[in-house]
Structure 1
Amino acid sequence: MTSAQHLLADEVSVSYGHQVVLDGVTLRIGRGETVGLRGPSGCGKSTLVRVLALLHRPDRGRVSIDGTPVDAVRYAVPVALRTRVAALFQSPRAAADPRLSLTDLIAEPLRATRTPESAVRERVAELADLVGLTADLRSRRPHAVSDGQLQRACLARALVHRPDYLLCDEATAMLDASTQAHVAAVIRDYQRTQRAGVLVITHDQTLLDRWTDRIVDLTGAARAHA
């Protein structure tokens, strides 16, 4: 791995009003590496994920992808850059549009980048099979499936552009044990085949010890360097 092959939050600070959430945080996730992030509730872990996922602009500091600084967020970031990072959040119901079928939920990021419909259908079918969504489930909307089934669809959606970095924010916390194991296995296999960098946030110390290469501690209004 060259020194430039990483997703980097460099001296990032974020405040909400007068409340400092992150204070000069630096976090590096290398290609092919799994980094665990732990800390008490409210210490800024989810905010850091949103900054790294290019969903929230920090007050100070900068995110870079493989050495390329990213100064914008969301759709202001060029497609080729923003699709290199994806996030999987704790609550699939908060992340999913309730009006969409699971097929359309997975397909939406591809359609947003004007991917030909034949390629969309092929990629959606490939990913649905990968995460274990049967054909009868794919036509259903979020209210008609379980949390575990919906999180599988959200995982497929996160992988749809083959991101180089995947950020998992308590992504298995609301799932039963068998679905947890399946989601973790899909992510590990994806990481091996794509040499993706993965960030794992969880309060499950056993999962951190088993899954991650190294663990970073984040504390309230944190100043962390790793």
Structure 2
Amino acid sequence: MSLTADRVTCRYGDHVVLEEASLTLEPGRVLGLTGPSGSGKSSLARILTGLRPPDGGTVLVDGEPVTTRRGRMDGRVGLLHQSPRAATDPRMRLRRIIAEPFSARGRSGPRGSEADDRVAELARKVGLTPDLLDRHGDRVSAGQLQRACVARALAASPRYLVCDEPTAMLDAASTATIAHLLSELAAEGVGLLAISHDHALLNAWADEVVDLKETTSRAAEPLADHTAE
């Protein structure tokens, strides 16, 4: 089982952002991905989560192709954005933000008291106190809102989670908290793709770090491997 990008190409008009980029993410692993600005990291994140089809190559989730938004919404691949404020409606309370994936499931999702209990459970897991759940997104800190976004991602029970600069907007304390939460997810079997410019964070956090420019036209080569530590 794996989330695999095989020679993925992405273009915007005549501009090629990615050219035959390849990587493989396995459940329970933290794969760090870095690269210079404009190298296509966020574009690859959108393709991996089904938000944008590739212009070439394939994305496979456990051997099945994912080329549309539906591939993201089935819950197997989640996305954690770099800016929690850009990724949420400021008029929504945190409990509703966390519960968004339940609505996407339709009749198969939890409802009523079951949904409330699940939201409370997820909130505890990410360290949100009950009083914060009834606050609107624009009435909490960026770190608290990002925790709610982590809980929202977990509500979909993803097998893989693509984290696009998840700590870029956070202070040092919140960065450490989010990194710890995501590491716990990996320990529970979720595959994490951690995209970041912060090489020190990735080297301390990820099992393996690859540079996106090194994935072009061939399989990624590790820059750092901490599995033996």
Q: Which residue of 2 aligns with 1:155?
A: 150
CA distance in 1: counterparts of 2:97 and 2:72, whole angstroms? 22
Gaps of 5+ in 1: none
- Residue 111 of structure 1, aligned match among 75, 100, 103: 103
Q: Secondary structure at the match of 1:14?
A: strand
Aligned 1:66-77 pairs, distance under 5 A: 66-71=62-67, 73-75=68-70, 77=71
Q: CA deviation at 1:113?
A: 0.6
* Structural RMSD (CA): 1.8
Q: Percent identity?
A: 49
CA contact (8 A) 2:23 2:215 kept: no
The question of 1:206 aligning with 2:200 is answered yes
The question of 1:96 aligning with 2:92 is answered no
Gaps of 5+ in 2: 221-229
Q: Secondary structure at the match of 1:20?
A: strand
Count of aligned pairs between the two proteins:
217
* Deviations 1:33-91, CA, capped at 9 Å, x for gaps: 111111101100010011111111111111111111223x113x485xx3011111110
Q: Which residue of 1 aligns with 2:118?
A: 123
Q: Secondary structure at the match of 2:182?
A: helix
CA distance in 1: counterparts of 2:66 and 2:50, whole angstroms? 8
CA contact (8 A) 1:101 1:139 kept: yes
The question of 1:16 aligning with 2:8 is answered no
Q: Which residue of 2 aligns with 1:173?
A: 168
Q: Which residue of 2 aligns with 1:217?
A: 211
| One-letter amino acid of the structure 1 residue matched with residue 208 of structure 2 | R
Q: Secondary structure at the match of 1:31?
A: coil
CA distance in 2: counterparts of 1:223 and 1:142, whole angstroms? 42
* CA gap 1:107/1:210 in 2 versus in 1, 3 angstroms: same
Q: TM-score with structure 2 length normalisation? A: 0.89
Q: Secondary structure at the match of 1:111?
A: helix
* CA gap 1:78/1:17 in 2 versus in 1, 3 angstroms: closer
Q: Which residue of 2 aligns with 1:61?
A: 57
CA distance in 2: counterparts of 1:78 and 1:143, whole angstroms? 27
- Residue 190 of structure 2, aligned match among 196, 217, 225: 196
Q: TM-score with structure 1 length normalisation? A: 0.90
CA distance in 1: counterparts of 2:218 and 2:202, whole angstroms? 18
* CA gap 1:187/1:131 in 2 versus in 1, 3 angstroms: same
CA distance in 1: counterparts of 2:149 and 2:41, whole angstroms? 20
Q: Which residue of 2 aligns with 1:32?
A: 28
CA distance in 2: counterparts of 1:56 and 1:127, whole angstroms? 28
